[in-house]
Structure 1
Amino acid sequence: MIWTMNRCLVTLAILFLWRVEEMAEACSCSPAHPQQAFCSSDVVIRAKVVGEQEVDAGNDVYGNLIKRIKYEIKQIKMFKGPTHDIDAIYTGPSSAMCGVTLDTTGKKEYLITGKLEKDGTMHVTLCDFIEPWDAMTAMQKKSLTQRYETGCGCKITRCTSVPCVISGPSECLWTDWLIEKLVNGKQAKHYTCLKRSDDSCAWYRGIAPPKKDFLDIEDP
């Protein structure tokens, strides 16, 4: 009897650890430069969150009920996405499930990137780039309409330790973590990776339109 109970406990423990590992793995993601987040997202909007409710989202493969948080939003501007306005975004019920926690008073504006599902709903996770609008730099805000999209043909390679290696001329080396120990460092705040006339890519800094050929670092 005791042996049977112990075996059941061990089985439950293994199942629990497996599910925890599965959740952690599902939420695992590398930090992205704002340009990368823009290029890889289906939707990029500026919005306020004005309401929140927990909703049912069907069942998982084990038959368990899936819960989601539905944030009701007021869209201020769409930088990338469908022709219709987004009036709600969905996320996991907790950070363990990649859920995002947002201010729901309607007083804070956010830049929100996310994925568009087949039913037209927008879903966001901790892996998406979500930033208070007031915390963004002038360059980041300007790049949402004039820079990031033109640089989507370039690849940004994150460097965390030396030596840093790129595989081709169409890559820009992102060194914020290596130099500043910050994900949101100078390159994330002030630089965009753009193509030059020879199809190679380089970092560009500035709000004015770049010259036909430009240096890797150019002040505004």
Structure 2
Amino acid sequence: MSRTMHSCFVTLAILFLWRVEEVAEACSCSPAHPQQTFCSADVVIRAKVVGRQEIDVGNNIYRNPITQIKYDIKQIKMFKGPDMDIDAIYTASSSALCGVNLETNGEEYLITGRLEADGKVHVTLCQLIGTWDSLTETQKRNLVQRYEMGCDCKITHCTSIPCSISTPAECLWTDWVIEKTFVGTQAKHFACVKRNDDSCAWYRGAEPPKKDFLDIEDP
């Protein structure tokens, strides 16, 4: 629980979230490309949310009750995670503590989270949480193979020009300086993939990356 709270209270602006306007002022997260969120997550699934309940998890130092929200889910597909079905996810009860508010009407979501030692999956607003329909077709394809292919690559966030990479194993993420959004073209349509020579480059295409590919290919 303490690791979850610590990860939420970082100093930079919120990153790639479809419902960023719902994030409370007390919860902010470091900017990250969706591929980075995929690579850092223990669990990445597509699931329906079918139930919600508030559960007691104890008291704080002031003896005030601490609650969490448990969402019952029906797993549709696992892109990354343990060899088991996930039937519930847990989050803080307040958005100020990075708690996630999900609809319980059978809406399908892409959910990324952390697998705790007790086997529970915990999610926060700092992770990639969004409705399945809000994903681009390229993002959906990238979840199957391409994001994982680039987990050894480093995605460097460009905050102002000039900016550059320091090693061939980096991809420069320029959505903010070019489009003034973290949900720009590179976030929506590109994956940073490792080449055979261990260098990394942005890739956009309908098929798995070729042996040698350009930074940009037609979808």
- Shorter-chain TM band: 0.7 to 0.9
Q: Report matched runs for 1:90-169 at 5 Å.
A: 90-106=90-106, 108-169=107-168
Which secondary structure state, in structure 2, belongs to the residue aligned with residue 147 of structure 1? helix
Name the CA distance, whole Å, in 1 between partners of 2:166 and 2:128: 26
Confirm whether residue 89 of structure 1 aligns to residue 111 of structure 2.
Answer: no
Query: Matched residue pairs, number?
Result: 198
- In structure 2, the residue matched to 1:33 is 33
Of the two structures, which has the highest relative contact order with CA contacts closer than 8 Å and spacing of 6 or more?
2
Indicate if the aligned counterparts of 1:116 and 1:122 stay in contact, CA closer than 8 A: yes
Q: Which residue of 2 aligns with 1:68?
A: 68
Post-superposition Cα deviations, 1:88-130, rounded to whole Å, max 9, x if no partner, equal 1111111101111111111x21100010000100000010001
C-alpha distance in structure 1 between counterparts of 2:38 and 2:151, whole Å: 8
Deviation at 1:63, TM superposition (A): 4.5
Identity across the alignment (%): 71
Rounded to whole Å, the distance in 1 between the matches of 2:138 and 2:157 is 20
Aligned AA for 1:84?
Answer: M
1:117 is matched by which residue type in structure 2? E
TM-aligned CA deviation for residue 164 of structure 1: 1.4
Distance, in Å, in 1 between the alignment partners of 2:196 and 2:9 is: 43
CA distance in 1, matches of 2:110, 2:8: 26
Specify the alignment match of 2:21 in structure 1: none
The aligned counterpart of 1:45 is: 45
Gaps of 5+ in 2: 1-6, 11-25
TM-aligned CA distance change 1:63 to 1:167, over 3 Å: farther
Aligned-pair Cα RMSD in Å:
1.8
**1:167 Cα deviation from its structure 2 partner:** 2.3
Structure-2-length-normalised TM-score = 0.85
Correspondence for 2:3: none
Greater Rg over alpha carbons, structure: 1
Counterpart of 1:177 in structure 2 is 176
Distance in 2 between the 1:82 and 1:109 partners? 20
Q: Which runs of 5+ in 1 are unaligned?
A: 1-21
Q: Which runs of 4+ in 1 moved over 2 A?
A: 22-28, 58-65
| Secondary structure of residue in 1 paired with 2:186 | helix
More helix per residue: 1
- TM-score, length basis structure 1: 0.85
